[in-house]
Amino acid sequence: MTMTDPIADMLTRIRNSYMAKKQELVLPYSKVKFAIAKILEKEDYIEKAEIDESGKFKQIKIELKYNNKQPAITKMQKISKAGRRVYAAHNELPRVLNGYGIAIISTSRGVMTNNEAKHAKVGGEVLCEIY
Candidates 129, 99, 97; CA nearest to 8 is 129
Inform me whether the pLDDT recorded for 82 exceeds 90: no
Q: Report the alpha-carbon distance of residue 51 to residue 59 in Å, rounded.
A: 6
What is the C-alpha separation between 114 and 12, in angstroms, rounded? 21
What is the average per-residue pLDDT within 5-28? 95
Task: Give residue 1's pLDDT.
Answer: 54
What tens digit of pLDDT does each residue of 88-125 get? 999 999 999 988 999 999 999 999 999 999 999 999 99
pTM, to two decimals: 0.92
Amino acid at 79: I
Q: Please, what sign has the CA dihedral across residues 120, 14, 67, 75? A: positive
DSSP letters along the chain, please?
A: ---S-HHHHHHHHHHHHHHTT-SEEEEE--HHHHHHHHHHHHTTSEEEEEEE-SSSS-EEEEEE-EETTEES-S-EEE-S-SSS--EE-GGG---SGGGTSEEEEEETTEEEEHHHHHHHT--EEEEEEE-
Whether residue 10 is found in the same domain as residue 66: yes
Chain-centroid distance of CA 99 in Å reads 16
Q: Does the residue 19 lie in any domain?
A: yes
17-43 mean pLDDT: 96
- Which of 71, 93, 109 is a domain's end point? 71
If asked whether residues 46 and 90 sit together in one domain, one would say: no
Residues 10 and 64 in one domain: yes
Residues of the domain holding 89:
76-130
Please name every residue paired with 77 in a beta bridge, in sequence order, or none if there are none.
Answer: 129
